Amino acid sequence: MVTNTHSKWGVRLGTLALWALAGASVVYWGLRLSARPVGLAVPAVAPAPVAPDAHAMARLLGVPAATDAVAGRAPVASLASRFALIGVLAGRSSGGGAALIAVDGKLAKPFRVGAAVDEGLVLQSLDPRQARLGASVDGPATLTLDMPLKN
């Protein structure tokens, strides 16, 4: 009877090749998973927020320039001339909202209904183009500020 001696070696070499391939695969994936990621992007730094220029915004919305505050002279003693209504966000059904008011020619700030705008003055209520100020929220209106009409 004739035996084929080459077939034993073929099986042995095939088994060796498969085990070598399995070992190489384990080494490859082990190195791949344990390595640090290369080329991480540096996070971009956001630019500093730009503060809005209230005077430019007021000019854009059609408010006349406050020349007394700009020229360095004392503001007019009249109470109404100290305040400028720049914008209104009035709640129709709630009666709440906020108003953008400039005090003494300074940058305009937002004030909610009920907030103190200046010493002794509270924002009482708002209409679509109007804000009423008084000593208290429930008291009579001392001052009514109107938004300027567009030209």
Which segment of 6-10, 24-28, 31-35 scores lowest on mean pLDDT? 6-10
In angstroms, the Cα distances linking 78 to 68, 82, 104, 143 are 13, 7, 11, 11
pTM of the complete model = 0.46
Which segment of 6-10, 39-43, 99-103 scores lowest on mean pLDDT? 39-43
Report the distance separating Cα 147 and Cα 39, nearest Å: 55
Which tens digits make up the pLDDT trace of 38-93?
A: 666 667 777 777 777 777 777 777 776 555 444 443 333 477 788 888 888 877 76
